[in-house]
Amino acid sequence: MLFNSFEFCVLALCTFGLYYLPFMRKGQVPLLVVASLIFYGWSSFDFLGLLLICITLNSVIRYYINTQPDRARQKLAATLGVILNLATLAIFKYAGLLGQLFFDPASNVGAFLLSIPLPVGISFSTFHSISLLIDVYKDKGKPAEQRLIPAPRTLPGALLQDSFYISFFPQLIAGPIIKAHEFLPQIRTKYWADIRWTDAFRALVTGYFLKIVVADNLAEFTHELSVPSLYMMSNVYRISLLLGYSVQIFADFAGYSLIAIGLCHLFGYRLIKNFDFPYISKSITEFWQRWHISLSTWLRVYLYIPLGGNRKGSARTYLNLMIVMLLGGLWHGAAWSYMVWGGYHGLLLVSERFLGQYIRMPRHGLVDLLRMIVVFVLATLGWLLFKLNDFDHVIQYVQMVLHAPLAWGDLANPRLYHIFLYAIPVFLYHAWYLLRRSPGWAPRLERMEPILLSILLFFTLFNTGLKAEFIYFQF
């Protein structure tokens, strides 16, 4: 069920209409759980049972950790739960890759592994489940007065809380990945006064504009960034398509995240910011502090720091960075191209950290602009591995761009103008962020914001592209 579909609008409006009624105050969480299961089951009914089984198993383990006084048994239960979640993810997401590597696709085992379908949103629900077990285990080890996560008195109570946390529909399919210790303490009765109307309106309008105006319109052109179409176009058009895809993937995913955040505001809950204007980053390290923040922080908290982080010397730090980025790439999909993408960013991070010991960049506006352009180009090149899943096609694209003439005459192609037209709002969006930090511009932009939001709303209503799934639904 897409956020821009008629069915979703009906579900969201009915749920919101009931949510704040006085007689529903004790039933708010069950209402949202039911709405979330309808949301998931509408487009993925075959896997609704799997979702419920996973939630139940994690909730039973969570309840055991809460009620078990022995710390060693708590740790054992949490460890087994994490292994169980990772095994489930591996079976459904990586069975096909394992089948290709270790079995003949024509054999019974190979054919079976390749036939296992991928449940929608399993990567996100799995990360939520792992966060639940780890955070509850850590919280249980604190003195009672310092604990953040409420401990349900009964197993049904734990099941209700955990069902809500894992399946809450705004973030069920594609995040943001909110950690259990950030979300569970928010579960309480909500009132009309808890709605952050301004934040909700800003996030929803901006999110829908990015998704259905920018991303969906660009999708009509960037589908040509594929083989064999690449062989029959000019270099200028090839480069423009990759630029368009870089803007599209940001607008698509950042738009989804903003819609999710806005919906949560309407129900009295807060999600963390998932994108913080990543295309103005002056380094790859900064890029990962601004891009898909919920994933990068999850990997840092639950993987990078436990591996030792940067506390065990430079060589170990570089190794930890590579491990985290390779696994982060593999998290996106069971294909070598995703792992190469993770390795690519890992090498950039390691190189940047190494060179940073010897090179100090001067602080100057032009230098900062040049660094932003370099980081944008490097990140954009990486998106080739998302768009062209066959690594040979990525190599062919790079070779064609390097060796074919630019053919500037192709700038007259009207399709190029459409790509740039829908890319410009994203660059203006980032420029608006930079200007907003300037003392001279901040008051003016604050006064202009209602007008700008009205313009975005107008285009959202009257200039939508062809309806398309969110890119991150496949992860």
**Residues marked as catalytic:** 332
For residue 314, which amino acid is it?
Answer: S
- How far apart CA 320 and CA 309 sit, in angstroms, is 7
Tell me which residue of 106, 122, 126 sits closest to 114, measured CA to CA: 106
What φ, ψ does residue 282 adopt, rounded to 5°? -100, 5
What φ, ψ does residue 451 adopt, rounded to 5°? -70, -45
314 neighbors 301 (Cβ within 8 angstroms) = no
Length of the chain in terms of residues written: 475
- Expressed in angstroms, the distance from the first to the final Cα of the chain is 16
- How far apart CA 122 and CA 125 sit, in angstroms, is 5
- How far apart CA 472 and CA 121 sit, in angstroms, is 9
At CA 344, angle to CA 342 and CA 348, rounded to 5? 115
- How far apart CA 276 and CA 430 sit, in angstroms, is 9
**What is the four-CA torsion angle of 21, 22, 27, 33, rounded to 10 degrees?**
20
436 neighbors 186 (Cβ within 8 angstroms) = no
- How far apart CA 74 and CA 62 sit, in angstroms, is 9
Inter-CA distances, 299 with 27, 47, 74, 140, Å: 34, 26, 23, 22
Cis, peptide link before residue 176, omega less than 30° from 0 = yes
Query: Which DSSP symbol is given to 363?
Result: -
- How far apart CA 92 and CA 113 sit, in angstroms, is 9
Half-sphere exposure of 132 (CA within 13 A, CB side): 31
Residue 123 CB neighbour total at 10 angstroms? 23
- How far apart CA 48 and CA 39 sit, in angstroms, is 10
Structure tokens at 59: 């909730």
Structure tokens at 92: 């459904």
